[in-house]
Amino acid sequence: MKAVKNGLRARIRKAVDSQLQPTVTVLSSLLAVQDDLRYLPDEAIQEIANLTDSSINDVWGVASFYKNFRFTPPADHTVEVCWGPSCHLLDASSILKRILDYLGISGEGDTEDNKINLRYNTCLGACSQAPVMSVDHHLHGRITGASACELLDRLLEKGS
């Protein structure tokens, strides 16, 4: 277990050291580590504090301020349902309800098996294709509740 932790710490240091800008900050270091690991484990907070000569509280303060930082490993797949005006007018709420029922969750977040992370998005930038959902950053337009569940079926079949 200690070798795994040392390997993780080495990977964190490498991500911080690989930054191209001349000034390395707590925020830039957090971003570099999350880009590499896809989340910020406790070890990242500790290593960044050491590498930037900051306190753990200072690093945690920056990391917890921004909503985009994750502190747990991400789900295998990300699904976003657009909630913008065009999608909303074309019944995104019933599609969202169908997806929530299908996934067995009550709102945004990860499924219990950590296979899918569901997010609501205020705009996916494809209003002409409304209603829209994104699966692992690939847009799918003119979705229905049934087609959304079919996409999720295919996604989960691939992951099995």
Structural domain includes residue 71: no
Please report which helix (H) or strand (E) contains residue 35, including its range.
helix 26-37
Q: Residue 16 — very low, low, confident or very high, per pLDDT cuts 50/70/90?
A: confident
Residue 21 in this model has a pLDDT that exceeds 70: yes
Domain containing 89 — which CATH number? 3.40.30.10
CA angle 70, 72, 75 (to 5 degrees): 90
- Predicted local confidence at residue 1, as pLDDT: 60
Q: What is the mean pLDDT of residues 44-67?
A: 95
Residue 45 in this model has a pLDDT that exceeds 60: yes
The count of structural domains within the chain is: 2
Domain of residue 17: give its range: 2-65
Assess whether 84 and 57 both reside in one domain: no
More confident residue, 43 or 21: 43
Euclidean distance between CA atoms 16 and 6, whole angstroms: 15
Q: In this predicted model, what pLDDT tens digit does every residue of 101-159 receive, in sequence order?
A: 999 999 999 999 999 999 999 999 999 999 999 999 899 999 999 999 999 999 998 76
